[in-house]
A = this chain, B = another copy of it.
Amino acid sequence: MKGHALEEQTVFEEEQPVFEIGVVVPKRDEKQEIDNENCVDVLAAEFRKMGLIVERVVGLQNEILKLAAPLAILGKAAAELQLKKRTYIGVDLQFEWDEIDAFIRQPDGSLFSWHERLLCYHHMLYGTVNVDNSIMLKFDNKEVYWEMGESVLRKLELEGIVKEVFPLHDDVMRKQLLKIWALNWWDFTKQPIDEICSYYGMKIATYFAFLGMYTRWLLFPAAFGLILHLIDFGSLQLFVLPVFFVSLVMWAVLFFQFWKRKNSALLSRWQVNQAPGAGREHKAFDLEWSLFQYPSELMKKQGSDKIIEKEVYQREEWLRRFMRYRNDFVVILSIICLQLPFELAYAHLYEVVTSDLLKFGLTVVYLLAIQYFTRIGGKMAVDLVNREISNNIEYRADSLVYKVFGLYFMQSYVGLFYHTLLHRNIMTLRQVLIQRLIFSEVLENLLENSIPYLKYSFKKYRAVRTKRKGERGSFAGKFPRVEKEYLKPAYSASISEELEDGLFDDFLELALQFGMIMMFACAFPLAFTFATLNNITEIRTDALKLLVMLRRPIPRHDATIGAWLNIFQFLIVMSICTNCVLLVCLYDREGKWNISPGLAAILLMEHALLLIKFLFSHIVPEEPAWVRANRMKNATHAQDMCSRELLRTISGGQKTFKELVKNE
């Protein structure tokens, strides 16, 4: 392992650089004379001065600077960033180039993870400031003054000369992943999680680990559901459904417990110093370059040596909470007052209308309307989240997830609840379930993959056409791969590109599917089989999408499924209640189990109170903010103080260990 790692490193440093960042500038007008102060030249020179390897690729419309960094340069940037890395004694310490032997390498043998490399690149690219006098830069006919202390890249971005900075695919790795992952149809749930993690970062690897484990576990209820569907149990039929339901609940609860265990194991393997569910403060989340949070900056913010005053913290904590509850209240109120009546109206109309044509028309209108409403709702949610006072981006993403999921939850299930509760019409429910499942399986998977592809093809086509028009026949057909990559769409969420990436859509799809099959399990046990088939293809299509259709996404330093875990847990509890209602409807065909309004009111109150019991526990945080702040301060303080001494000790120990191995 170690030898292999060293080998790889040498390859990386000497033979052929792996270009990881692309900087896109417009193609220079060839008619202009070549100028000394052309800003692209200056930019490339600055990058080279820093030690980066620069390759300039001229495409059809754009010129792209491909950047690669030797390990030593990355190490220098990491030390400047005061990046904390796991050492061999298991503690996270500030990185220092001289003590490189003290730090644990990634599973693939490289020193820095993809996320850390990007942090370093970002630091280098935006850290090139002008130390001398103001320099005049030219681009075509534009003149830009690069003032003292300004970042050249930032300046050119503001002037619109640098169109975009984006991470590049690594073709060797990508092809390997295609072979062993996306196109590996044989072992249908096994995935190379470590390779995914080192290529895409921890968050995406966690998603695929979850998807794989979920699919494997789904096989049990899928088989059970299939048996229920195929075999007639005769007089036992009455008891089979409750047994199915009870074993299903146990299955779901156990699955999520074992998932938490697996997630812990993954965190430990990826050397993340964090228990799942514990405070997630020190995290850098970086969907946009501008949203980058450096660990060291975070530290500085929290480690400031002012005395932590109890009263100030208390006041600020409650103010924040109040704002958050007000927002949540607005969201819940608007969902109940605006969305619920709309959904109910549609469900009612669908039942009332008899003509098939009218039904079809109604559904089309409804589908268009919800597209529109979802967009508005999503925007509202993003607005509300942005108004919350919180520096923690991961927390904001979670908050958005909860709010938007509320919207989708209503949209997806209210109609189904309506059929179940008011009409006791199991057959219609089954029909709707089958429709939706097939719709989601076939259509969504198709759309998900074809839309980015179509977008990309259109852009490509337009680029070629523009080029042809401009050059009139002298088209050379030179369309470099990196420019094609630039035209590919990014991995972004349909709801908001600001706060979440494409994982939002993927998790949403999973959660909605899970809710659908769990909450109406007793009405349609076969759903699990559909879901299993869907997920097996989902693994492949998602992998293909990431590898082929999209740009390489910006990695997130977060290795849990976050808010989605709570949503899945909530869906389990909901499914217990809805399945009970379903069973009542199924077994009470003669309507003898007459539920009087009084009894219904008390049962409703009971369930509402149980819900309140578990929700209220989250309203008041267990640990006051000042206690937490004190704790964090202590922890960082101690680490900062002892890191230097410690580092030298470990590094020394590691070196002697290596020498011992060599001598043997």
Cβ of A192: which chain B residues have Cβ within 8 Å of it? none
**Least CB distance, A243 to chain B, in whole angstroms:** 11
- What's the number of copies of this chain in the assembled complex? 2
Q: Are A246 and B577 in contact (CB under 8 A)?
A: no
Residues of B within 8 A of A641 (CB): 89, 642, 646, 649
CB <8 Å contact, A246 and B609: yes
A584 touches B602 (CB 8 A): yes
A242 within 8 A of B: yes
B interface footprint on A547-580 (CB within 8 Å = 1, 0 otherwise): 0000000000000000000000000110011001
The stretch of A469-477, A484-492, A512-520, A630-638 in contact with B is: A630-638
Task: Report B-chain residues with C-beta under 8 Å of the C-beta of A616.
Answer: 250, 253-254, 257
Least CB distance from A631 to B in Å reads 7
Flag if A627 contacts B264 (CB, 8 Å): yes
A603: B residues at CB distance < 8 A: 580, 603
A265 within 8 Å of B by Cβ?
A: yes
Chain B residue nearest to A93 (CB atoms) is B638
Q: Is the CB of A89 within 8 A of B580?
A: no
A566 to chain B, nearest CB (A): 12
Q: How many residues of A are counted as interface, with CB atoms below 8 angstroms from the partner's CB atoms?
A: 66
Say yes or no for A261: interface residue by CB 8 A criterion: yes
Q: How far is the CA of A70 from the CA of B593 in the complex (A)?
A: 78
Cβ B264 vs Cβ A613 within 8 A: no
Q: Is B637's CB under 8 angstroms from A89's CB?
A: yes
A53 to B362, CA, bound (A): 94
Which of chain B's residues have a CB closer than 8 A to the CB of A268? Answer: 627, 630-631
Stretch at the interface among A176-184, A457-465, A523-531, A618-626: A618-626
Residue A598 at the B interface, CB < 8 A?
Answer: yes
Closest to A87 in B: B638
Q: Is the CB of B261 within 8 A of A613?
A: no
Contact partner of A580 (CB less than 8 A), chosen from B242, B602, B634, is B602
- For the complex, is A605 an interface residue (Cβ under 8 Å from B)? yes
Please list 6 pairs of residues, one from A and one from B, whose beta carbons are closer than 8 Å in the complex, sorted by A's number: A260-B623, A268-B627, A573-B610, A641-B649, A642-B645, A645-B645
Q: Which residues of A contact B (CB under 8 A)?
A: 89-91, 242, 246, 249-250, 253-254, 257-258, 260-261, 264-265, 267-268, 273, 275-278, 572-573, 576-577, 580, 583-584, 587-588, 592-596, 598-599, 602-603, 605-606, 609-610, 612-613, 616-617, 619-624, 627, 630-631, 633-634, 637-638, 641-642, 645-646, 649
